[in-house]
Structure 1
Amino acid sequence: MKTTRRTLLQGAAFAGILIAAPRFSFATARSTTLRCVMHADLASLDPIATTASITAYHGALIYDTLFGHDADSITRPQMVSDYTVSDDGLTYVFILRKGLKFHDGQPVTARDAVASIKRWGARDGAGQHLFKRVADVSAKDDSSFSIVLNEPYPLILDWLGKSSPSICFIMREADASTDPGKPITEAVGSGPYMFNRAETRTGSQYVYDRNPEYVAVAEPASGFAGGKVAKFERIILQNMPDEQTAVSALQAGEIDFIEKISPELLSQLEGDSSVKLEVLNKTGAMGWLRMNTLQPPFNNVKARQAMLYLIDQAAVMQATFGDPKHYKGCASLFACGTTMESDANTGWFKGGQNIEKAAALFKEAGYDGTPVVIMQQTTLPVLSNASLLLAQWLRQAGVNVELVPLDWAGIVARRSNKGKASEGGWNIFMTYASGSAYNNPIALAGHAATGEKGWFGWPEDAKHEQLRDAWAAAPDLASRQKIAHEMQENAWNFVPHVYLGQWFDTAAMRSDVNGMIGLPDLVPFWNVSRG
């Protein structure tokens, strides 16, 4: 590692964090604490008010769920001990496991579950789709509650147990009863770890202590289901913006886990016996460009179609990942390598980048030269690089561009603004989701085309929504694949969003860290041990 003033200062800052941590000597902390460097800072504590992945990780540490999908995608009870379904498929009655407690000592009751389901249903894409069919959700007594439907909905348990944001975490009734559009600042769940606010340093480290009262399901951990056994006394999510510093700290044993390693740094770790490398998310990640469809120019479908011809996925991926073994181009609305992958209406992709075509479409859209504001995500290199390339291509197509560099927290704070870019809004931002998340037209909030009721960008298309309804009601995989094909044919006409390419991140961890479960949408920290 080349030593610079920057790395020296950051190394000193990291050492200061280690020294400042109370109660633990370094040797003790090493044996009982797992230190992890994640992809972003924790900007919000509310995993319902935001779909940010880092907040979902936080949620999975401190909250629990009614159900969970195991490694074979089978939905299994978690907080639920038993449930029944009426013969007509309209009434579900759930009974909670005995002995469930929140971190403040209060028992988990059916009222907590009811309030949590309602709050989740107001925000989550799958929850919103479900609640169009919900007649009532109510507590029967302290330990049981019911969901009554207007029509059968076979995916109800799948949605209650999914691991893609937003996850139906069970909160205290007082927290869950708040406005779902306003983030809660409390962080009290009933899960395997407890948020230690006293030792958390916002922007630096987030501390979670083992919940001694948590009783795990008496089954082996499997996917997002089974026994969530907290084997470490403490988990620390460390914020280290300089990746080289993080890599050096991992090799020195000062941290234990880095969620994502840039390809250019992998060579420093390959062959190091103290470190092991693993692709945890086998479905990869898809770069995702969202346009504000409520404001010009992207309120015009021609401008959105222009973006399909403007982006060169290979160039975007090459700029960050270099070796093609880490990425591939993908034009499937549902990601590549998934059960819903389709080749429908992808002539724009097969023909390659066409800036002249894009320029003509912007002209047809009536683009008037008003600056197009790109919120440049500075936290993740692939999205930062993509923003720079996009700005270049837009300018070549005759579009006036303004880049606004923001960390992920800044983007999360600004992306809910539906107004003009000149009044604090935006035109384009970029994020990503797992291939597994894209594979589901209902569960991924960004697949909705419900206008202002939907996810950031707010596209609207009635046919798309009809097809999503049909997909959810389809009786088998073949039927859903046929509908997914129709959905993609239509989607690439009205263009709800645009993709940047698909890549496969590598995680790095100390060689004595074992039991890390590879999930597409989460990094779970239960079942993980040292030695």
Structure 2
Amino acid sequence: MGLRQFMLSAALSFVGAAGLSVTAHAEDRVLKVSLQTELQILDPIITTINATRVFAYLVFDELVAIDSEGHYKPQMLSGWDVSADRLTYTFHLRDGLKFSDGAPVTSEDCIASIERWAKRDGFGAQLMDAADRFKIIDTKTFELSLKRPFAFVIDALGKPGHQIPVVMPARLARLDANTAVPEVIGSGPFIFLKDQWRAGAKAVFARNPNYVPRSEPADGLAGGKVVSFDRIELLSIPDQSTRVAALQKGELDLLEVVPYDYIDMLRKDPNVTLGKQPTIAQNMIAINVNHAQAPFDNPLIRRALQVAVEQSDVMAGLGVPVDMYRVCYSIYMCGNSGSSDAGTEYSREVGPKAAQKLLKEAGYKGEPVVFLHAGTSALLNPVGSVIADQMKQAGFNIDFRTSDYATVAARRLKKSPGADGGWGVTPMVMTGIDLLNPLAQQMVSLNCMENNPGWYCDPALNDLLKVYSQASTAADSNKSRDEIQAVFHKNVNYVLAGQFAAPPAYRSDLKGMILFSFPVFWNVRRE
């Protein structure tokens, strides 16, 4: 080989090696994630789907954030002042806040965003019922005046989900609150690359160069959201075994929920770490019931459904290890200081056989019940099969409709009868962080609201929620919580089907992972 040929060969080898190095480095800066449900809706006050919540915390931010122990901390705010009579709150935005389009975040944006959120959220509606007015003091300071005491102003502004009071530009926040905004512009740590989005398949996010994290260490949703990855990819993989195999091969970095059948296998894989969820991050299976249509417009038939569900069988069908679930009938979750037994007397005798008599007494005539079953969800797929079987044993005429989760979520919004595209029941997964405060949780706070899929409505519940919002002592607060739960069970807003942990799994070279009720992608890095 001549000198010229040798030099050319060496040069090409160098370029090839450099290219591989650049490619490998680029891949190291990408985090690939599989959620348990598909991302379909890009506005976190329009839906309660968990994938949209994950999306929201990537691209938006909140004025207040909750930490891993349930405490509320300033996030977009530098702080707030409260008057002696607790009727005036003055909020101060921290320095350096910008939207992803480069525009500064202002008081006007914050007020418009709060008002939009409150039109669709039960907690927000309670807050605005107590509010007198908002007032802009300057571009970084605004004021909320109350006409009556409201004990949960800060909790409302830091609500971690369903629906989320994120801040967006005022020009978008002033649009119809019942329609998703046409642009995704937030002030969070990432930017959504809409041109690369394939609904239900892939969503891509890039680091937001305008984001300035807080100086405190990250803790749950609070603190400094330091970004180490240039790109986040949310990938939809319907088949559970394919998801797990992709994680083991390094084609995925994180699974939001590990199918229980694979837990033992993954525990033995040194390249995979199973996350241990804090107590606040445990989950509740709840059955969403359509109160607007027969047969569940009859409260006695709802009660028969309530009794038909045997929680331990649901958990066994899900494959949850016995040390990872508990039978629980408290809407505030069990195992914490806010748990309650009020209204749970029916739980002493449950199961399909116990429900048969109730169903007959209720006058059920065999009307079909459209059961929406999310076959692509690692959690809802097995849960749905068990619950449908329990209902059949109790005597319900089940019309079982299996589809992907996105289809289930879309159909769940339809109030029409099952024969016209509506539905009767569908299981859901709720996270404990969303259930601690009755003003924030969707099983009671959306009472009599039209944007509440299931359309439960009990006028007495609204009065109880109002009393709770003004409670001045712990004793009064606990009394109201018990009364709210008792009314929930009497009206059968939802049916509870068991409390459990659903651990995530991620590649062991990821460090600094923040384990919460849902995946968050700040402070994690690859080593």
TM norm. shorter chain > 0.5: yes
1:223 equivalent to 2:203? Answer: no
Per-residue CA deviations over 1:374-408 (Å, capped at 9, x if unaligned) read: 11122324422333333333333333221111322
**Alignment correspondent of 1:465:** 462
Equivalent in the alignment of 2:15: none
Percentage of matched positions with identical amino acids: 35
1:51-450 correspondence to structure 2 within 5 Å: 51-283=48-280, 284-355=282-353, 357-448=354-445, 450=447
CA contact (8 A) 2:66 2:160 kept: yes
Asked if the contact 1:338/1:439 (under 8 Å) is kept, the reply is no
Whether contact under 8 Å (1:65, 1:160) holds in the other structure is yes
Alpha-carbon separation, structure 1, partners of 2:283 and 2:340: 17
How big is the shift at 1:215?
0.9
- Equivalent pair of 1:450/1:465 in contact (CA under 8 Å): yes
Distance in 1 (alpha carbons) for counterparts of 2:117 and 2:494: 24
How far apart in 2 are the matches of 1:322 and 1:351? 23
Change (3 A) 1:93 1:389: same
1:318 aligned partner, one-letter code: A
Answer whether contact 1:263 1:322 (CA < 8 A) is retained.
yes
Call closer, same or farther: CA 1:65–1:246 in 2, change over 3 Å. Answer: same
Letter in 1 for 2:351: Q
Q: 1:240 to 1:29 in 2, by over 3 A?
A: farther
What's the counterpart of residue 523 of structure 1?
Answer: 519
C-alpha separation in 2, matches of 1:156 and 1:478: 20
The 8 Å contact of residues 290 and 498 in structure 1, kept in 2 or not, is answered as yes
Task: For residues 141-198 of structure 1, give each alpha carbon's deviation from its aligned partner in whole angstroms, at most 9, with x where no partner exists.
Answer: 3222222211121210111112233221101112211111112242111111111223
Q: Secondary structure of the equivalent of 2:481?
A: helix
- Kept after mapping to 2: 8 A contact 1:281/1:504: no
The CA deviation at 1:454 is: 5.8
Gapped regions of structure 1 (runs ≥ 5) = 1-21
Shift of 1:281: 4.7
CA distance change for structure 1 residues 443 and 373 in 2, over 3 Å: closer, same or farther? same
Whether contact under 8 Å (1:36, 1:259) holds in the other structure is: yes
Conserved? CA contact 2:311–2:327, under 8 Å: yes
Whichever of the two has the greater Rg, that structure is 2
**How far off its partner does 1:448 sit?**
2.7
Deviation at 1:107, TM superposition (A): 1.6
Alignment CA distance shift 1:74-1:336 (3 Å): closer
The answer to whether the 8 Å contact 2:300/2:362 transfers is: yes
The answer as to whether partners of 1:276 and 1:509 remain within 8 angstroms in 2 is: yes
Aligned position for 1:29 = 26
1:510 alignment partner in structure 2 = 507
Q: 1:397 to 1:351 in 2, by over 3 A?
A: closer
Distance, in Å, in 1 between the alignment partners of 2:32 and 2:290 is 38
Q: How far apart are the structure 2 equivalents of 1:198 and 1:324?
A: 45
Amino acid at match of 2:310: D
CA contact (8 A) 2:36 2:256 kept: yes
Q: Residues 317 and 25 from structure 1, CA distance in 2 versus in 1: closer, same or farther, beyond 3 angstroms?
A: farther
Q: Distance in 1 between matches of 2:489 and 2:244?
A: 40
Find the aligned partners of 2:343 and 2:150 in 1 and give their Cα distance: 30
Task: Work out the CA distance in 1 between the residues paired with 2:389 and 2:68.
Answer: 43
Deviation of 1:476 (Å) = 4.0
SS at match of 1:126: helix
Query: Which amino acid in structure 2 is aligned with residue 530 of structure 1?
Result: R
In structure 1, what is the Cα distance between the partners aligned to 2:323 and 2:345? 25
Tell me which amino acid in the other structure corresponds to 1:437: D
1:16-58 Cα distance to aligned partner (Å, 9 max, x none): xxxxxx9996512332111111111101011111111110110
Higher mean displacement: 404-413 or 385-394? 385-394
Assess if the C-alpha contact under 8 Å between 1:297 and 1:365 holds in 2: no
Q: Tell whether the 8 Å contact from 1:199 to 1:207 is kept in structure 2 after alignment.
A: yes
Deviations 1:228-253 (A, max 9, x none): 11111111111111222222222222
Check conservation: 1:90, 1:148, Cα contact below 8 A: yes
Change (3 A) 1:30 1:76: same
1:475–1:514 CA distance, 2 compared to 1 (3 A): farther
- Over 3 Å counting, the alpha-carbon distance change for 1:226 and 1:382 in structure 2 is closer
Which runs of 5 or more residues in structure 2 are unaligned? 1-18
Q: TM-score, normalised by structure 1?
A: 0.90
| Amino acid in structure 2 at the alignment position of 1:384 | N
Residues 151 and 471 in structure 2, CA contact (< 8 A), matched pair in contact too: no
Q: Secondary structure at the match of 2:203?
A: strand
State whether residues 239 and 376 of structure 2, in contact with CA within 8 Å, keep that contact through their aligned partners in structure 1: no
Conserved in 2, the CA contact under 8 Å of 1:446 and 1:454?
A: no
The whole-number CA distance in structure 2 between the counterparts of 1:346 and 1:83 is 40
**Would the alpha carbon gap of residues 23 and 447 (structure 1) be closer, same or farther in structure 2, given more than 3 Å must change?**
farther
The alpha-carbon distance between structure 1 residues 76 and 24, as it changes in their structure 2 partners (threshold 3 A), is farther
Q: Secondary structure of 1:403's match? A: strand
Aligned to 2:95, the other structure's residue is in SS state coil
Secondary structure of the 1:65 match is coil
- CA distance, structure 1, for counterparts of residue 325 and residue 65 of structure 2: 30
Contact 2:121 2:446 (8 Å CA) reproduced: no
Compute the displacement of 1:456 (Å): 1.4
* TM-score (norm. length: structure 2): 0.91
1:17 aligns with none
